[in-house]
Amino acid sequence: MLDSSAASTEARRPDAAAPASPGARPPAGGLPPDRLPPAGPSRRAISLIVLAIALLAAAVIVSMATRNRTTVDAVAGDDGWAGAVLEPTRPRPEFTLTDTSGRPFDFAAETEGELTFLYFGYTNCPDICPIHLSTLNQALRAQPDLSATVVFVTTDPERDTPERIRSWLDGFNGAFIGLTGTPEEILAAEAASGITPAVPDAPGEDGFYLVGHATEILAIGTDDRTYLAYPFGIRQSDWELDLDRIASGEVPPVASAGAVDVTAAVAGQGKAGEAASVYLTFDNRGDDTTIDAVSTDAADQVVLHGTDASGVMTDASTLDLPSGTTRLEPGGRHIMLEGLRQALEPGDTVTVTLHFADGETAQVAMDVVAYDDVLDRTTPQEAGA
Ligand SMILES: [Cu+2]
């Protein structure tokens, strides 16, 4: 069946092609001694061969060096998640549909704070939907300590009655939640989730039709970020690796630039014309670096604030990011958005762009939270919390 979404397979770390083993190299002299022509005229030919071999060796060394660099770069930008890390991450989608018992289901409210897997498909799907959901189910069963909610939204509400969805999902797992709605409601849910809308094919003579639909299963974390997308084709064992990491409290980065990951981001509230603070956590896997500037469309200017030894707030022109973890926290260093172009209210999203000394940039989208939630959202979460 057709997939309407170009389910982008994440760029895999290129395996550095193993250089030919030393034993496979031609002998340095080009020809074995006992095969050397007896007479002198070919000395020039031999030295040309030697030169050619030297050039070839140099070329091999250069290409190995290039390959190694490529590999290192790929590793630096790749956190090794099996799913595709969404950058910038999106908030937990907000939509209301109807569950298989006929009750309204407010997705954001019902699943808030829960690790959630969200999938749009249909029960008549010949292969992708059953394989994908079954793979997820098996991966979750292999990780019984991890509590997760799986929500399936039909993209074929005409044939997928609530009863049919229920019995089909029960074939995988009776705890899977099934949702349906009018075509308009389902379209709105797809849009809210950032999913390509499904399109039914023309029915055949028997009236049967396929539905082209996006194949990614979205993972939404306990921090209410939609942070990973699993395209069809992911193996159960790869999925289990991600689930292990999530179970141990790890989260995919909010954004990354080179060796620096932003692992948490939240903004405080603020009135139009006034200021709001931005708190970020950085994991720098590389050398010491600095953020030279921060920009945003949400405010007239951005100021980096530090606190000196006596606790007095000071302006800093750059933000040092030593190797390791750096937290911008309430009472410590933070980023101020000054002259807000509109009020930032809890539930809003604001985006800033970080400009690093090496020219890299990272776009960070973050939730605006109420004052009384700032500490919860900026203090490291306990694993499994
Ligand atoms: Cu399908």
> How many A from CA of 67 to the centre of ligand 1?
38
Classify burial at 177, counting beta carbons within 10 Å of its beta carbon; exposed 0-12, middle 13-18, buried 19 or more. buried
> How many A from CA of 106 to the centre of ligand 1?
24
Beta strands 177-180 and 148-154 are parallel
What lies within 8 Å, CB to CB, of 97 at 6+ separation is 104, 105, 107, 153, 179, 180, 181, 185, 186, 189
Q: Which residue has the higher pLDDT, 25 or 261?
A: 261
Model confidence at 47, pLDDT cuts 50, 70, 90, reads low
Query: For the residues 284-302, what does the mean pLDDT come to?
Result: 91
Q: What is the pLDDT of residue 309?
A: 59
> How many A from CA of 373 to the centre of ligand 1?
39
| C-alpha to C-alpha distance for 28 and 260, rounded to whole angstroms | 45
ipTM value: 0.91
> How many A from CA of 198 to the centre of ligand 1?
10
Query: For the residues 39-62, what does the mean pLDDT come to?
Result: 47
> How many A from CA of 205 to the centre of ligand 1?
21
**Residues found in the chain:** 385
Q: What is the mean pLDDT of the chain?
A: 79
Model confidence at 53, pLDDT cuts 50, 70, 90, reads very low
What is the distance of C-alpha 35 from the center of its chain? 60
> How many A from CA of 209 to the centre of ligand 1?
12
> How many A from CA of 220 to the centre of ligand 1?
20
> How many A from CA of 246 to the centre of ligand 1?
26
Query: For the residues 215-224, what does the mean pLDDT come to?
Result: 94
> How many A from CA of 173 to the centre of ligand 1?
17
> How many A from CA of 152 to the centre of ligand 1?
11
> How many A from CA of 217 to the centre of ligand 1?
11
> How many A from CA of 122 to the centre of ligand 1?
6
> How many A from CA of 196 to the centre of ligand 1?
13
> How many A from CA of 364 to the centre of ligand 1?
32
Q: What is the pLDDT of residue 314?
A: 64
> How many A from CA of 85 to the centre of ligand 1?
22
Chain position carrying tokens 């055949």: 204
Classify burial at 109, counting beta carbons within 10 Å of its beta carbon; exposed 0-12, middle 13-18, buried 19 or more. exposed
> How many A from CA of 179 to the centre of ligand 1?
15
H or E segment to which residue 90 belongs: strand 84-91
Q: What is the pLDDT of residue 197?
A: 95
> How many A from CA of 140 to the centre of ligand 1?
20
> How many A from CA of 51 to the centre of ligand 1?
60
> How many A from CA of 343 to the centre of ligand 1?
42
Partners of 150 in the beta sheet? 117
Q: Note every long-range contact of 48-55, with CB atoms under 8 Å and residues 24 or more positions apart, other chains counting.
A: 53/26, 53/28
Q: What is the pLDDT of residue 41?
A: 47
Q: What is the pLDDT of residue 42?
A: 53
Q: What is the pLDDT of residue 230?
A: 96
Q: What is the pLDDT of residue 14?
A: 35
Q: What is the pLDDT of residue 10?
A: 31
| Alpha-carbon separation of residue 378 from 209, 234, 265, 314, 362 (angstroms) | 49, 32, 8, 21, 19
Residue 384 has pLDDT above 80, yes or no: no
pLDDT, one tens digit per residue, over 124-148 is 999 999 999 999 999 999 998 899 9
| C-alpha to C-alpha distance for 14 and 210, rounded to whole angstroms | 36
Domains annotated for the chain, with CATH where assigned, are: 22-77 (no CATH), 85-247 (3.40.30.10), 259-378 (2.60.40.1890)
> How many A from CA of 197 to the centre of ligand 1?
13
Three-state secondary structure call for residue 257: strand
Three-state secondary structure call for residue 204: coil
Chain position carrying tokens 């039914």: 200
> How many A from CA of 133 to the centre of ligand 1?
10
**Rounded to the nearest 10 degrees, what angle do helices 236-247 and 128-141 cross at?**
40
Highest mean pLDDT among 151-155, 297-301, 343-347: 151-155
pLDDT, one tens digit per residue, over 165-196 is 999 999 999 999 999 999 999 999 999 999 99
Q: Which residue has the higher pLDDT, 172 or 23?
A: 172
Longest dimension (CA), the chain: 97
